[in-house]
Amino acid sequence: MTFRVLALESSCDEFAGAVIEDGIEVLASVVATQAGIHARYGGVVPEVAGREHLRNLAPVMQATLESAGLGWDELDAIAVTQGPGLGGSLLVGVNAAKTAAWARGLPLIPVHHIAGHLYANWLRPARDEWDDSPPPFPLVALVVSGGHTELFWMEDHDRVERIGQTRDDAAGEAFDKVGRLLGLPFPGGPEIERAAKQAAPEQIAALDPLPRAWLPGTHDFSFSGLKTAVLNRVRKIEAAGEPVDVPAMAARFQESVTHVLAEKTARAAEELGATCVIVAGGVAANSALREALRERCAEIGLPVRVPPPRLCTDNAAMIGAAACYRRSEAALDIDVFSTSGPAVFSAGS
């Protein structure tokens, strides 16, 4: 029997809606982004994000249903990101979802934001190149975004263990901060990738490689020291009265981040006996990271699955996919941050 869910995502600066069928088919996906609004501030302003969500929620929900060609009576549930994220932004999405669920008599399924990112890999657009097969268990999952850098061991849908995480800056946060340091627009991730592609091999070779934090004996990550290394390198160049080669510096920084992410993910997968590696989160849209992961995991004979870039950044389709696997957790009386589900997806994690 078909199961259709209207999903809402509002954890940061996008308000998104989607209609997902059976955790696989994307019947509609609409995203109202605020990137242009926050770019002038060099980062997301929480109060501004919350106000923009209030303006966008009704138009996005209407556009989502129209795009899917469905009415409210053709839905089986509503899903919403419950946390983690910006408090004001989450409140807008959660209250909108609770109101709609109550008014329409539909079950409400709360979804942890990180669980959503993982389940983007179960959607049809991410499965096309694999003969429509879902990711095989057991697997290692790497989540890399603006606020999270984590490794998970997934034995099945209900047995999920966090095996590694960042001890300081998340990878996406480091991209944003280094991008700002190099005078690039916000958000820093795509701008650094764009700048790095402009660097010729001889330009990159002229700069010494940047450090990598390996944290031996753990699956954890650390990017704060790398960020400081870039700052010190830039200051030294400027103090000498020389111009900073932004493309080359961006390439060296990106190289350091992707090398560590790919190497530590592959090591964890090999150590634990994974049959597959999946990647999710906004930074997973980075082409250099995708290439580094595929090359490194090919050495140990493991496939790497990464959703299309549009499903890596925040969207509601991934929330709807996760909800279809968590129907038993439906509850109308939910609060922001107190997310149910596997213990690994606990509040604030």
Domain assignments of the chain as residue spans, ordered by start: 4-123+310-345, 135-306
Length of the chain: 349
Single pTM value for the model: 0.91
Question: H-helix or E-strand containing 238?
Answer: helix 224-239
Average pLDDT over residues 43-59: 87
Residues 6+ apart with CB under 8 A from 129: none
Average pLDDT over residues 279-299: 96
Average pLDDT over residues 272-298: 97
The DSSP-derived string for 11-77 is: SSSEEEEEEEETTTEEEEEEEEE-HHHHHTTTS--HHHHHHHHHHHHHHHHHHHHHHHT--GGG--E
Average pLDDT over residues 288-292: 97
What is the band of 345 on the pLDDT scale with cuts at 50, 70, 90?
low
Average pLDDT over residues 307-334: 90
Residues 6+ apart with CB under 8 A from 227: 169, 174, 177, 178, 181
pLDDT at position 330 over 90? no
DSSP 166: B
**CA angle, 89 as apex, 316 and 11 as ends, to 5°?**
40
Question: H-helix or E-strand containing 233?
Answer: helix 224-239
Instruction: Report the Cα 276 to chain-centroid distance in Å.
Output: 19
Does the domain at 135-306 match CATH 3.40.50.300? Answer given as no
How high is the mean pLDDT of the chain? 92
Fold of the 4-123+310-345 domain = Nucleotidyltransferase; domain 5 (3.30.420)
Output the pLDDT for position 270. Answer: 98
Output the pLDDT for position 346. Answer: 43
Query: pLDDT tens digits, residue range 77-126?
Result: 999 999 888 999 999 999 999 999 999 999 999 999 999 999 999 999 88
Question: H-helix or E-strand containing 217?
Answer: none
pLDDT at position 58 over 90? yes
Average pLDDT over residues 203-224: 96
Query: pLDDT tens digits, residue range 1-43?
Result: 899 999 999 998 889 999 999 999 999 999 998 777 877 877 7
